[in-house]
Structure 1
Amino acid sequence: MSRILYCLTVEHDWRWTLAAAVLCVFGLGAAFRLLVEARRLQRARRREVALLGAVVGGVTVFSTHFVAMQGYDAGGDVRYGLALTLLSLALGVGGVVLGSLVLLAGNRRLHRGIGGMVGLSGVAAMHFVGIAALELPGRTIGWDPVLAVAAVVGGLAMALLTGAVIYGKGTPRFAATCMGGALSVIILHFTAMSAMAITPDAVTTAAIGPTAGSSTMLTVLAMMILGLVGAAGTAAWLGYISRSSALHQIREAIDAMPDGLAFFDADDRLVLWNNRYDEVNPELSSNLQAGMTFREIIQIGLNEGLYAEARGREKEWITDRMQSRRALSAMMEQRIAGDRWLRVADRRTAAGGIVTVCTDITDLKNDAQALAEARDAAQAANAAKSQFLANMSHEIRTPLNGVIGLAQALGNTNLSPQQAEMLDLIQSSGRTLQVLLSDILDLARVESGRLELSEETFDLGSAVRDAAQLYEASAREKGLQFFVEIAPEVDCWIIGDQVRLKQILTNLVSNAVKFTGEGFVSLTAAPGPTRDGVQTLRFSVEDTGIGFDAQTRDRLFSRFEQADGAITRKFGGSGLGLAISRQLSEMMGGDLDCESEPGGGSAFILTVPFKAAKAPVAAPGEAIDDGTAAHATVRVLLADDHPVNRRVVEMILGQANVALTSVEDGAQALQAVRDGDYDLILMDMQMPVMDGLTATREIRLHETAMGLGRTPIVMLTANALPEHVSAAEAAGADRHLPKPFDAAELLHLVVALPRTMAGSIAA
């Protein structure tokens, strides 16, 4: 170490040493800058700029070496052999070029470290070849091998450290990289110079080839330094052009933004804004100036009356706006004069500035309002549709009740064979109309999402047998074998919607009987496969009917579809039953599918979740009187505004021991209850003066006030939707019998319900 310090302080002139160090730092800085800029350029220009940077680096270390040599005291005249001097220049530049190529191959620490060491190796070769180029008359040069090796190793270590560790983004790291690169060259040079010893030699060796003196070398070095200054200027210019181009591109991008953007500094003063910011704030654009505070800008808007929400509360509005702006990130929607809307987002930067983005959302607001109006209109239309369905259901069921009821009453009279046949046709047509009406209403309720399934406990075996029994007689009349098979495992009580399950099964059995001319129809119920850990029920309706092909199968469950038009004409039907059945099965959490082939029959498979339940225990007094036992006259009050309906009920109940009193509206029914005593009340829901729901509520209030027993009330009405049933129960009705009703069902209800309720009360 003492030898190195002696060489540095005594054998070298500090002024030349300082000049060499400064030259090395700034020259390498220019070279590094050119290499950095080369990474940002396209491939063609990248090679040119990188080569320029490598040459600048090589010339820098060469110049640093020979400038330092000008301050070295060699003990006499010094001349430079031109051949070896040029070779040293080539080695220095070539080594730096190779190191630069390694650097450009990748930006990882490994590439940077190896690149630095390759470059420094070229510099070491340049140094020792340059020393060999010295011509010292009467003197010889000797070497200390330890110091020579230390010079090379120290320089390589510093180059590796600079490339792999010190290099990084930012001005401080760039400056440190320049200093580290210069230090690696300085360590190499001055340690190697301390390893050199010059001794007198009486034998003078003639110079080999042309040589140059110190003055010539100084001239060459001056030219090289001027070249380095030019290269440094070029690097600075390229950096400026690059930054200017980048800023220009950023400015173009900001101006092309679809949103208005403004930037405020840490003091909330306007620094820059784009063209869109002017467009979305036309009332402010003529007043915007750099340096204005945000507070001054919104004050201009207040003076112009832009902010509708600030009228009458300007000070509070400004306070709230400035408070929200202090947050790290804030967003608000602002209504501007002229029915315009802006979404304003403020985002604070790391340096304390604020970026404000304004988006014109007037169209979005208008679209949202239009959608809201469309939604309200759709809801109103849906409500009107529901009301229309309810009204149509009522209006169709009322006359249909007259047709079916009178036909049933007529069937109990003496008729000729021809009249009996005509009556059968009337009854068949009435039932067809009733099924069609129910299908249309069910479809409408499924589409509107108003159809809800109930959860009740019922006997599955009984429900399946009841569904099959409805069409067993029709099958026998066609000469078909009819089978019903229920596996013992599922002949039990379950939880589900009994009505909808029977609706699906009766639809499937009805179709099977309808489309089968000979052979058999079967309905089976058995355990189904387990799906996702849930047990299922599997119902299968099979027949030997006409069948259908795969193309027909794909559209069979669509609405208003049957196998083909000819079948529709031959067998009739609306084509709604299967569509509704599949939708009901999906609502139950199951599915409905089928298998068939033309002329080979069909099989429809219904799969639904299996929720087993315990059979309910009947309480005393709950047994329903079947009407077979003799009983006293039943006093019945009928309230219905439609004369045909009143006449139908009168004719049906005329067959039983019933004392019937008829009134035309709810008010008359209420008065009749106050004046008399009845065993049963048949109440229409939709009547003038006082509707059936109001009359029912008043009757219940009268019973409570007078301490009377509860008279059974049956809603005998054409209002048959679920909401009507719920409303009737809420009003105090005990049963709901929709029109058109079955005569036998009405007779059974009139005879049995009073006794059933009386038994329940007694129990």
Structure 2
Amino acid sequence: MAVAGISGWIGRRLRGLSRRLGHHAVAAAEADAATARDRLREAIDLLPEGVVFLDAEGRYILWNKRYAEMYHRSADLFRPGAKLSDTLITGVARGDYPDAIGREEAWLAARLDKLTNPSGERHEQRLADGRWLMIEERRTSDGGVIGLRVDITAMKQQAEALEDALHRAEAASRAKTEFVADMSHELRTPLNGVLGLGRALSATDLTEDQRGLLAEMMTSAQDLDGLVNGLLDYGDRARAADAAPAGVVAPSDVPPLRVLAADDNPTNRKVVELMLAAAGAEVISVENGQEAVDAWRAGTFDVVLMDLRMPVMDGLEAIRAIRRAEGAGLPRAPIIVISANTSTTDVEASAAAGADRHIGKPLRAEELFEAISGVLD
């Protein structure tokens, strides 16, 4: 065989071998690719989160079993080449998304905007079966989208339970505060009468035996006052509004005044009248906030003493009514709250309504005169 013939024969044999090797290589590569795809599919299916892959046009490429389980009401719509946007539209029509009911177009517009502009920002989605999903979607390098779905139903339930417990705790706290306020009012109101009348009685002519009995009565009343203060110590003893200069002010230091005093308890009104009478003040007493407002409009007073808890109109509303009337051109009246409720909240409420001072019961003459001197100065 000629050299040229041999060369041709060798070339034909080599080309044939090359073709056979090429076919084997392609087949091997295809087998490897299939194995890789199967392993990828298995790995994705094992994930506890739902995963979906979309192409650049928003069409399904791949999704795992968890994703199909989460969206079991829409799983019949999943197929390669179908658009996720169409699944959403059909799901809204079926009622798969409770938050879309009644606002279907707005809900779809917002959801499709997130789908076409996947920023990775997480948002929540509620499903018709009561479950909640956390959604995160990001753009892939080829322009497609990879979506992640996490079932957060248990977390939402825990959050709701925690919020419910918080509301119950707040309600219990409010109930405790109201109880303390009621206890303060109900205990300190009669104490104010006993101590006030006892002090007034001590200034009168008494026999030695009477003075001894009065001393014992005052000691018992003061002991009871101490017990009440101890009981209500965790916030109901605030006397923060008493910012007058330190020192005892005697009745003679308070000039003759015309005072309007509002209190629904007749004994407490008597105590105030006796204290101020010793200083030469004229006292006009009323039983509720409405009477206080009416009396203030009809007369001229140097100072107003206002209880908080009264029928018809409470003290805070009466103070606000007086301040509103002053805004219409009437002169400003110094107002001092005298109340068995002396918590920080009560003091702040008095100040917010327009009171100048807030002093507590049982009322002491020196406190009253200090407060009057302070507001008049």
Q: AA paired with 1:389? A: V
Q: How far off is 1:685 after superposition?
A: 1.8
What residue number does 2:66 align with? 276
Residue 672 of structure 1: aligned partner: 295
TM-score scaled by length of structure 1: 0.40
Secondary structure of residue in 2 paired with 1:271: strand
Report 1:247-262 matches (<5 A). 247-262=37-52
Cα distance, 1:736 vs structure 2: 1.9
| Equivalent residue, structure 1, for 2:223 | 429
Q: Following the alignment from structure 1 to structure 2, what is the Cα–Cα distance between the partners of residues 253 and 648?
A: 86
Q: Does 1:356 align with 2:150?
A: no
Retained in 2: the 8 A contact 1:280–1:359?
no
Amino acid at match of 1:400: L
Partner of 1:645: 268
Match of 1:714 in 2: 336
Query: How far apart in 2 are the matches of 1:437 and 1:351?
Result: 73
Matches of 2:105 and 2:186, distance apart in 1 = 64
Q: Which residue of 1 aligns with 2:361?
A: 739
Tell me how far 1:315 sits from its aligned partner. Answer: 6.3
So what's the TM-score if we normalise by structure 2?
Answer: 0.75
Residue of structure 2 aligned with 1:324, choices 114, 118, 143: 114
Check conservation: 2:236, 2:344, Cα contact below 8 A.
no
Superposition deviation, residue 660 in structure 1: 3.0
Q: Distance in 2 between matches of 1:633 and 1:667?
A: 26
| 1:739 CA displacement | 0.8
Matched with 2:190 is 399
AA in 2 matched with 1:386 = T
Residue in structure 1 matching 2:213, options 398, 419, 422 = 419
Cα 1:712/1:328, change in 2 over 3 Å: closer
Residue 339 of structure 2 aligns with an amino acid whose one-letter code is T
Q: How many angstroms apart in 1 are the aligned matches of 2:271 and 2:56?
A: 89
Any idea what SS the aligned residue of 1:685 has? coil
What is the alpha-carbon distance in structure 2 between the residues aligned to residue 706 and residue 17 of structure 1? Answer: 121
Distance 1:440 1:241, change over 3 A: same
Q: Report the AA paired with residue 426 of structure 1.
A: S
Could you tell me how far 1:349 is from its partner in structure 2? 1.8
Q: In the aligned structure 1, how far is the partner of 2:182 from the partner of 2:335?
A: 23
8 Å contact from structure 2 (residues 335, 356) kept in 1: yes
Give the match for residue 490 of structure 1: none
DSSP-derived class of the 1:439 partner:
coil
Which residue is equivalent to 1:660?
283
**Contact 2:263 2:306 (8 Å CA) reproduced:** yes
Distance in structure 2 (CA, Å) of the matches to 1:703 and 1:289:
76
**Secondary structure of the corresponding residue to residue 282 of structure 1:** coil
Give the 3-state SS of the residue equivalent to 2:312 in structure 1. Answer: coil
- 1:301 corresponds to which of 91, 99, 109: 91
Which amino acid is 1:693 matched to?
A: L
Find the structure with the greater CA-based Rg: 1
- Aligned in 2, Cα 1:688/1:336: closer, same or farther, shift over 3 Å? same
Find the residue that maps to 1:301 and give its secondary structure: helix
| Per-residue deviation, 1:716 | 1.6
Query: Do structure 1's residue 723 and structure 2's residue 362 form an aligned pair?
Result: no
Aligned twin of 1:590: none
Q: 2: distance between equivalents of 1:647 and 1:354? A: 82
The alpha-carbon deviation at position 299 of structure 1 amounts to 4.5
In structure 1, what is the equivalent of residue 3 of structure 2?
Answer: none
What is the distance in 2 between the residues matched to 1:635 and 1:299? 78
Is the 8 Å Cα contact of residues 407 and 426 (structure 1) preserved in structure 2? Answer: no
Query: RCO greater where, 1 or 2, for CA within 8 Å and sep 6 or more?
Result: 2
Runs of 5+ unmatched residues, structure 1: 1-12, 27-228, 444-450, 467-623
8 Å contact 1:393–1:718 — kept in the other structure?
A: yes
Please give the per-residue CA displacement for 1:427-476, whole angstroms capped at 9, x wherever unaligned. 44034225314523269xxxxxxx9x99x9x99xx8xxx9xxxxxxxxxx
Tell me what 2:54 maps to: 264
Aligned partners of 2:263 and 2:287 also within 8 Å? yes
User: Structure 1, residues 573-606: CA drift from partner, whole Å, max 9, x if none?
Assistant: xxxxxxxxxxxxxxxxxxxxxxxxxxxxxxxxxx
2-structure distance, mates of 1:323, 1:705? 56
* Rounded Cα–Cα distance in structure 1 between residues aligned with 2:286 and 2:109: 72
CA displacement at 1:712 relative to structure 2:
3.4
CA distance 1:304–1:636, shift in 2 (3 Å): closer
Distance 1:248 1:748, change over 3 A: closer
Alpha-carbon deviation of 1:255? 1.3
SS, match of residue 74 in structure 2: helix
Change (3 A) 1:431 1:269: closer
Structure 2 match to 1:635: 258
Counterpart in the other structure of 1:342: 133
1 CA distance for matches of 2:325 and 2:109?
64
Match of residue 307 from structure 2: 684
SS in 1 for 2:73: helix
Q: CA deviation at 1:422?
A: 1.5
Residue deviations 1:503-533, cap 9 Å, x none? xxxxxxxxxxxxxxxxxxxxxxxxxxxxxxx
State how far apart, in whole Å, the 2-side matches of 1:312 and 1:354 are. Answer: 29
- On the 8 A contact 1:411/1:423 being kept in 2, the answer is no
Counterpart residue identity of residue 336, structure 1? L
Give 1:733 shift.
Answer: 3.0
How many Å separate the matches in 2 of 1:440 and 1:380? 18
The answer to whether the 8 A contact 1:342-1:361 is kept is yes
Distance change (3 Å), C-alpha of 1:390 and 1:420:
closer
The separation in 2 between residues aligned to 1:290 and 1:700, in whole angstroms, is 74
Q: CA RMSD in A?
A: 4.3
State the alpha-carbon separation in 2 of the partners of residues 255 and 412 from structure 1.
Answer: 93
Contact kept, 8 Å, 2:195 with 2:218, in 1: the verdict is no
Give the AA of the match of 1:401: N
* 5+ long unaligned stretches in structure 2: 1-5
Secondary structure of the 2:362 match is: coil
Aligned residue identity for 1:365: K
